[in-house]
Chains A and B, each alone.
Chain A
């Protein structure tokens, strides 16, 4: 049994040595070198031992190729093509055919010269506060687009308003990266990076205001009569976020007007420099408005109350039998002047309690004149109801 084990071990060693003998066949790399610099010419020289000349299988981060050598009487030379020798990183080679056990590797280092810096910054805008952040990724590249060597220092500079910050980061894992936190002041942050005297472009990061907070509103009007014509203007105080930054231009503000019937009217404004303005035409009758503005879901304003007095106190109606015209008016405004054109007068014509016609007409020069001759027949009784400026009048006619 012991003999048998010894025999096996002996056989194994004999086989191994003969394999080793067989495997390199005497061919050997003459200029073995562990490291190169990108862009250097790389030639692998072997001694020539027989007429059979193997190709070389060559592999690096760029890809895999077969190199056909040039040979003279003594040497076989494998020249690594430029596009391969310019790539930094580990390179592996191996001869083919029966020489396939002859193999090796070496490392190509990036050059010490930076030709450009690739930089990525995103997102391009972040919100003020303490939470939001952007990330900067810097990749300095050598002459042949290789990332620089590990631990090359990368300088990152940041300027926000009056604060200036400098950081040096080690280049690691093919990138240098930094999280850039937001600020409580809205504005533009400038960022640049530097590596081995090469500098990046200027990068900017917008720090935008956060959500709006509560604000105040006020109004402006030319008079306090409900004439249905003039315009009341509402405006907000400067709307700011919780860090006292003015909210973004264009922020939508809704003004809700509750009239004395409890109905909500609406008008809209957009902020410029934090102030939103909105307009609303005066009611055409006596009314009280409770106005509140809000940025829905974020903030709201104080409540203000406006009252409008009657501009139109009364008017006459007169039916002209001959022309069958109904003359409504004159409509007088608060100083007894003729009311500006455009007050809506509604006429409803009833025949036996059945409405047969409803006409809307706007006043012109203080009057609304309804031509009824096509609707009114002889010897019939009609009831006419007139509504204007929330004043109702009724008239019975018969021709």
Chain B
């Protein structure tokens, strides 16, 4: 009989290449991982043999990830650039996956047609689409595909013992391990061991005559007989896994991952967090869920029993935190490090052969006959249509999920940023991106500048990052306290990391940047705002790195690609015979020419029906409960929830549709009101939680007390308000809130203000700046400085005046020492200071000493978000001395000072009043800094509060502040170690003293408080539009 090419496989390959090959251009770049692999590839393009990369995390080694895929992309990129390399490699992955599933299915089902069906279904399966088009896990796909290719070879080696099969299987395993390290390790357990079991079973069957006659004794005898093949294989396979990636293992041993576990959706409880359930359970399984009883029935067949056990384990582990079982099986440690979605991926891949077999039996086999006989041909067609439709629906749904629910910010044109970094030596400092998503990896690949952030968290070494459960600094707003806390540390002491530029794509972070002393430089043509920090030294020319032995570098640069070449050479003969069908492969042990399935069990048909019905009921019920929950106007709670949700996502039309239609508030008016409100809450906050308490409800009206918590980059804001609702035509509506009716007196008014411009280099040159172009640092004077203890926390407080004639940007750095003059802690003033001072302006300041929070991993971090909360540094000894270094630099930015206090009430516990904006700019976030003094007018405490709403021009806005009711202890008020621009403060003070003809504490207000005698109020204004 002439062997013909399997037309199903050809179909699968054609569909696969056209479908995935087209779609990937729209999906791959927005996946989570693809750009990271691209970044690694870029590393190999630039330095193939040098594993140290300076671009991320102040340096890391690429020996922390198997290199094959990255090196392949790098090689291909020499032809057509990095992205060409990426897409070409992805196409190779598609082909490998389809052929791999075909060969694996052929091995399992022993039937060419079934394997062909399996290949087609695998091509369009939601699990593959998700892994490629949503996650972009190329190494994982290539790893598992090559492993599938290895499966038949391993089977044949065990079964037949021909040495060539040992070599082919080992060569393929070496390729697997160099492309993905986790795959062969778990593959040994979940794929190869059941395969060996099946081979032994087949051997035993041969001996016993039929499968039924195989007893445990015969099985064990076969096992013993085959042990001479199994042991060499396992030993050699493990040796290959170790040696092919030897530098990787050495690196993991030398630099163990110190990263605290980062929460991952695959570890969630899928019933509680339905979005995780969708992405990590429903989509990968897809329509295969309907066929689960069949798959388990087949895999628990005596021949496949080991696969059955393996599949059950994989399925269970893939359910993540839904049940406590996976955690118990894997142990706490492995559970928190592994991402469990890979188990579901493997389970779904393992199911593919049986799905193919089911499809064959359903469309042309015994299942078709039994259904047509019992229910009639029409029913068969309906079911077929239903299954095909559901399958394709899941495929289309999965591939377009990234379109409907983008996991990434919109594509950013990086060229302007790359150009900016190349200009004027901007790449001599580190930069940071905010709100870029995984596109930061693409930026890193395109610039030679370095960033403190990075996108491969297993490789990072900075304790500021490894001790926090955050993925990246740039998306820290999604990681609550951990994220913002970590980001704030980087923003407060940027000079530690030579961090000077921030590219912000998310205005959420603007307030914290401003209040940490950063200033806006300009907006690039792609809309990215560049922020800059003064007084940051450039990166030193020679950077530290961890070097490895030369043999490791050569090994890393050559072995991975050698494994591929070797695998090609070893497998070329069988590859050619298989492809061109030059030789009949009927003789291959696992293929049966005509495989007749036994009669499809009727009971199984019934079970399948019952199972599908059960699943459909669950789906229906879930949909209904979603409808109830989401029907926005069924109850007052729903109306409020929807309203706040709409506000949070700035869907104002939706929000307006929930406003009481009788309230005479047309959409135009509503939008106008929205557009004039600005401030921390309305422009820079993310709704964290909402608590609705319906205090009163009648049939037609309700009053709700709404407590909301908002995350902002500055602090967690708790807000509480009452809303009244009315019911009309069965729908609940919200009565609109009143707006600020304050009527400014002037239609047009004028203000004179000084504006400043610093030329920078007056000559257009790349040479070092001419010394006459360097401005003198403004002279500042530290008026008072004290080390205090308040609530068990140490701070340095005091007052600074800009005594120069130019506006100054100030950076304050405090250091604490114990009695033995040993350094205990050093930190900068964060937001409790006015960073920009006009000539002769005074600011109070407070430096809190934040350690690298949660230094001790075992210490429980607070579960709720509060960016203001921080762990104090672990002061091994009590600080008794301090030094204070202040640096001034000329800056003309952010000098809006036109907010006045127009009304003030002070009690012993509260300061409240009205702020009046008398200038021509809108102040978006006003900050009030309170300094408390003792009876001798010595400052003893500094505190601050933010006003959460902005103040428009010539309008008033109320504020409220609660005075702390605890005392603070002054530990040291010696100003001996105070320095300004490197000079002793004393010499500056003595020079200016004869000009001081007035007291420095004119605006102090007497208060009635047990610990404080006077208070001074200072105002710091963030203007959303640069002033």
Contacts and interface: CB of A to CB of B under 8 A. Distances in A.
Contacts of B803: 211
A272 to B, nearest CB: 5
Contact of B776 (A125, A256, A299, A375): A125
Contacts of A272: 752-754
Contacts of B805: 125, 208-209, 247-248, 251
Contacts of B743: 229, 340-342
Interface stretch (A17-25, A32-40, A356-364): A356-364
Interface stretch (A7-15, A62-70, A165-173, A260-268): A260-268
Given A231-B954, A272-B754, A298-B840, A211 B992 contact: yes
A249 B895 CA distance: 13
A122 interface: yes
B741 A270 contact: no
A230 B954 CA distance: 10
Mostly, the B contact residues are: loop
A121 B742 CA distance: 55
A360 B914 CA distance: 13
Interface in A83-99: none
B902 interface: yes
Interface residues of A, number: 64
A277 B918 CA distance: 11
Contacts of A230: 745
B916 A280 contact: yes
B114 to A, nearest CB: 69
A295 B837 CA distance: 13
Interface string A102-143: 000000000000000000111111000001000000000000
Interface string A244-283: 0001111110101000001111111010100001111101
Contacts of A278: 900, 918
B932 to A, nearest CB: 15
B838 to A, nearest CB: 4
Contacts of A270: 753-754, 838, 895, 897
Contact of A266 (B839, B954, B1003): B1003
Given A264-B904, A296-B842, A297-B801, A249 B754 contact: yes
A278 B917 CA distance: 11
A280 B918 contact: yes
Given A251-B838, A267-B918, A299 B745 contact: no
A119 to B, nearest CB: 9
A41 B886 CA distance: 55
B745 A254 contact: no
Interface string B975-998: 000000000000000011001111
Nearest to A374: B703
Contact of A341 (B742, B776, B1001, B1002): B742
B903 interface: yes
B1005 interface: yes
B454 interface: no
Contacts of A204: 772
B897 A268 contact: yes
B378 interface: no
Given A251-B838, A266-B1017, A297-B998, A280 B900 contact: yes
Given A124-B776, A264-B904, A374-B701, A212 B1017 contact: no
A221 B340 CA distance: 72
Contact of A267 (B840, B842, B900, B1017): B900
B696 A268 contact: no
Contacts of B991: 131
A279 B998 contact: no
B900 to A, nearest CB: 3
Interface string B737-756: 01011110110000011101
B1002 A248 contact: no
A212 B804 CA distance: 11
A274 to B, nearest CB: 12
Nearest to A300: B998
Contacts of A208: 805
B918 to A, nearest CB: 4
Nearest to B704: A374
B776 A281 contact: no
B478 to A, nearest CB: 36
Contact of A250 (B724, B741, B754, B997): B754
Interface in A191-221: 203-204, 208-214
A374 B696 contact: yes
A126 to B, nearest CB: 9
Nearest to B916: A281
A280 B903 CA distance: 10
B904 A295 contact: no
B995 A250 contact: no
Interface in A367-399: 371, 373-375
Residue of A296, A298, A342, A364 contacting most chain B CB atoms (<10 Å): A296
Nearest to B801: A297
B898 A296 contact: no
Contacts of A214: 997-998
A39 B841 CA distance: 58
A231 B701 contact: no
Given A229-B743, A249-B754, A252-B897, A296 B838 contact: no
B902 A281 contact: yes
Nearest to B899: A268
B775 interface: yes
B872 to A, nearest CB: 32
Contacts of A342: 740-743, 956
A184 interface: no
A294 interface: yes
B901 interface: yes
Nearest to A125: B776
B608 interface: no
A242 interface: yes
Contact of B995 (A123, A210, A341, A361): A210
Contacts of A279: 898, 900, 918
B562 interface: no
Given A231-B745, A340-B745, A298 B998 contact: yes
B771 interface: yes
B806 A248 contact: yes
A272 B783 CA distance: 26
Contacts of A212: 840
B1000 interface: yes
Interface in B681-735: 696, 701, 703, 724
B660 to A, nearest CB: 12
B902 A256 contact: no
B956 A281 contact: yes
A297 B783 contact: yes
A26 B990 CA distance: 71
Interface string B993-1021: 00111111111011000000000010100
Contacts of A122: 771, 776
B701 to A, nearest CB: 6
A267 B1018 CA distance: 10
A249 B807 CA distance: 10
Contacts of B783: 297
B392 interface: no
Given A272-B754, A296-B842, A264 B807 contact: no
Contacts of A209: 805
Contact of B741 (A222, A242, A297, A363): A363
26 contacts: A123-B776, A124-B775, A203-B772, A211-B840, A214-B997, A222-B745, A250-B806, A250-B807, A256-B1003, A263-B1005, A265-B901, A265-B904, A266-B900, A267-B918, A268-B1019, A270-B754, A277-B752, A278-B900, A278-B918, A280-B916, A280-B918, A281-B956, A283-B903, A298-B998, A299-B997, A342-B956
Given A229-B745, A267-B918, A341-B742, 19 more contacts: A122-B771, A124-B774, A124-B775, A125-B805, A131-B991, A211-B996, A231-B746, A248-B806, A250-B756, A262-B1006, A263-B1005, A268-B898, A270-B895, A272-B754, A281-B954, A283-B903, A296-B1002, A297-B998, A373-B701
